């Protein structure tokens, strides 16, 4: 399934790594570690956020020695080296907020569209330096396949080598330098005048990502050791029973860095967000594959079965409802989702398949499964592949609901789209993004033959209504 993703990762990644990073304090000042505001600054912390195209550095939290009046702050109060300041307000903790609150922390929000905002990259065999295969939504142009990479099908490039291992994730450190350029006023009325001293972050907060814990599953059946990330509901109660969502990453994320799958995009973290957990408490499982599990020959390695065994093992160690096990994945992970549903038909209650395919000759068991499939019509392999699978499902007597969506639609439109499909009451739903709509207009104009594989999942995992549908399903 590495066909288009590999090609895109190699070309899109370079932009992320060549962009200038935030600099540390300049050699002309020795007060950059923590000394702004005439000595009133206690610390500075970088704050990150995961987007569809990967983790970004999006704010600095500056801790003062007294509560700061948020109403007295503005974007002109601070300057960040190499970055665009979009919002400044006070808060009671080192966290971003919709509205400011008087507190000891001043939050300096930074534009996620800055060239140096993106932290995520991958240095493994299927991602040359950055972007993690997150094409399309990142704003980078997507080139078409060269003749030397052609498989005989226009726009399709060769897939990965089965079992190929990945390197360490090239995740840049979130580090920035800020200067207080305006007066900061405490709630008691004391004015801290502008100060030319530079303050550099010394710590990092990674919302949601930091809530996952890292473990290794030593599978006695396959002999494989599989690293994985696990989110346990914050109010976990052994007396209750919880659902579990399994997310499987694409082949460009194959890495020896355990948390790579958490920062490459939204596929894992969207299920563990405070908003989602408030509505649907659940365990979230995100294995980190050190090698390619399945390639275009559809003959998976032992990590495939080890994944199923890991899910089963967790149900014996936590209070997890075996009737509410769900799977999802993008590209290679989508292939694994389809393959696992075929080989282990009683394991998952429902699955969200994003930009994947499997041999249609093996697809008949999928007619008995609850599936939501999303793919871009411009995806030159996954789209025809899923078309063939849905025909097999329909031939087996299962009705499939189909819909074509605009990939540029917002949350409100997507919610209405999902509602319309749900009204049909089918167990298999097939939503496709209209060709070209997962890319920006500028990208389409620049290259009408741009590949639309990687640009599917940065959008698909933002659709909250699909996640809601998944959790409504039971065995």
214 found inside a domain: yes
Nearest Cα to Cα of residue 268 among 245, 291, 289: 245
144 found inside a domain: no
Which residue has better confidence, 8 or 228? Answer: 228
The pLDDT score that the predictor gives to residue 12 is: 35
Contact between residue 243 and residue 321 where contact means Cβ atoms under 8 Å apart: yes
Q: How far is CA 367 from the centre of its chain?
A: 29
- pLDDT tops 90 at residue 121: no
340 found inside a domain: yes
Tell me the pLDDT band of 444, cut-offs 50, 70 and 90.
confident
Contact between residue 341 and residue 365 where contact means Cβ atoms under 8 Å apart: yes
Find the domain containing 388 and state its range.
Answer: 209-472
Residue 259: other Cβ atoms inside 10 A: 21
Distance separating alpha carbons of residues 299 and 442, to the nearest angstrom = 38
Q: pLDDT tens-digit profile of 413-428?
A: 999 999 999 999 999 9
Distance separating alpha carbons of residues 343 and 81, to the nearest angstrom = 53
Torsional sign, CA 172, 173, 174, 179: negative
380 found inside a domain: yes
Distance separating alpha carbons of residues 164 and 292, to the nearest angstrom = 5
12 found inside a domain: no
Average pLDDT over residues 199-226: 98
Distance separating alpha carbons of residues 89 and 348, to the nearest angstrom = 45
- pLDDT tops 70 at residue 401: yes
Q: pLDDT tens-digit profile of 227-280?
A: 999 999 999 999 999 999 999 999 999 999 999 999 999 999 999 999 999 999
Q: pTM of the entire structure?
A: 0.86
The pLDDT score that the predictor gives to residue 159 is: 62
Number of domains in the chain: 1
Distance separating alpha carbons of residues 142 and 133, to the nearest angstrom = 11
Distance separating alpha carbons of residues 336 and 261, to the nearest angstrom = 15
The percent of residues in the chain predicted with pLDDT above 70, rounded, is 83
15 found inside a domain: no
Distance separating alpha carbons of residues 155 and 40, to the nearest angstrom = 58
Q: pLDDT tens-digit profile of 23-51?
A: 333 233 333 344 445 689 999 999 999 99
Query: What CATH number is associated with residue 316?
Result: 3.40.50.1820
330 found inside a domain: yes
Q: pLDDT tens-digit profile of 90-119?
A: 999 999 999 999 999 999 999 999 999 999
What average pLDDT is seen over the chain?
86
411 found inside a domain: yes
The pLDDT score that the predictor gives to residue 33 is: 43
Nearest Cα to Cα of residue 50 among 137, 175, 108: 137
The pLDDT score that the predictor gives to residue 145 is: 29
Residues facing 401 on adjacent strands: 429
Q: Which helix (H) or strand (E) holds 79?
A: strand 78-80
């Amino acid at each position: 399934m590495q066909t288009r993703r590999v090609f895109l990762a190699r070309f899109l990644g370079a932009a992320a790594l060549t962009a200038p990073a935030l600099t540390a304090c300049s050699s002309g000042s020795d007060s950059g570690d923590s000394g702004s505001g005439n000595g009133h600054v206690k610390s500075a912390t970088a704050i990150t956020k995961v987007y569809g195209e990967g983790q970004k550095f999006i704010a600095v939290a500056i801790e003062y020695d007294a509560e700061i009046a948020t109403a007295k702050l503005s974007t002109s109060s601070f300057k960040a080296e190499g970055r665009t300041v979009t919002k400044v307000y006070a808060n009671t903790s080192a966290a971003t907020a919709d509205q400011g609150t008087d507190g000891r922390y001043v939050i300096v929000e930074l534009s996620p569209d800055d060239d140096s905002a993106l932290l995520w990259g991958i240095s493994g065999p299927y991602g040359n330096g950055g972007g993690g295969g997150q094409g399309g939504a990142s704003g980078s142009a997507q080139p078409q396949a060269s003749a030397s990479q052609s498989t005989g099908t226009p726009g399709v490039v060769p897939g990965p080598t089965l079992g190929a291992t990945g390197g360490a994730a090239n995740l840049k450190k979130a580090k920035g330098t800020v200067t207080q350029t305006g007066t900061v006023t405490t709630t008691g009325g004391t004015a801290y005048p502008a100060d030319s001293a530079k303050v550099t972050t010394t710590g990092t907060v990674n919302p949601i990502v930091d809530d996952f814990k890292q473990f290794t599953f030593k599978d006695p059946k396959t002999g494989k050791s599989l690293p994985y990330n696990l989110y346990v509901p914050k109010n976990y109660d052994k007396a209750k029973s919880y659902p579990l969502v399994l997310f499987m990453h694409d082949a460009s994320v194959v890495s020896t860095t355990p948390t790579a799958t958490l920062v490459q995009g939204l596929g894992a973290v969207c299920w563990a967000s405070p908003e989602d957990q408030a509505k649907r408490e659940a365990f979230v499982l995100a294995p980190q594959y050190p090698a390619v599990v399945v390639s275009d020959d559809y003959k998976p390695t032992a990590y495939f079965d080890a994944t199923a065994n890991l899910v089963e093992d967790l149900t014996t160690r936590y209070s997890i409802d075996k009737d509410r096990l769900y799977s999802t994945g993008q590209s290679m992970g989508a292939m694994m989702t389809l393959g696992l549903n075929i080989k282990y038909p009683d394991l998952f209650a429902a699955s969200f398949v994003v930009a994947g395919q499997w041999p249609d000759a093996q697809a008949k068991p999928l007619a008995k499964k609850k599936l939501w499939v999303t793919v871009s019509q411009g995806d030159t392999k996954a789209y025809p592949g899923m078309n063939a699978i849905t025909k097999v499902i329909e031939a087996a007597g299962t009705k499939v609901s189909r819909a074509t969506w605009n990939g540029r639609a917002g949350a409100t439109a997507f919610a209405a789209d999902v509602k319309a499909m749900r009204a049909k009451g089918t167990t298999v739903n097939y939503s496709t993004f209209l060709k070209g709509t997962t890319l920006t207009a500028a990208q389409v104009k620049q290259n009408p033959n741009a590949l639309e594989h990687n640009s599917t999942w940065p959008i698909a995992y933002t659709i909250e209504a699909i996640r809601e549908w998944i959790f409504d399903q039971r065995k």
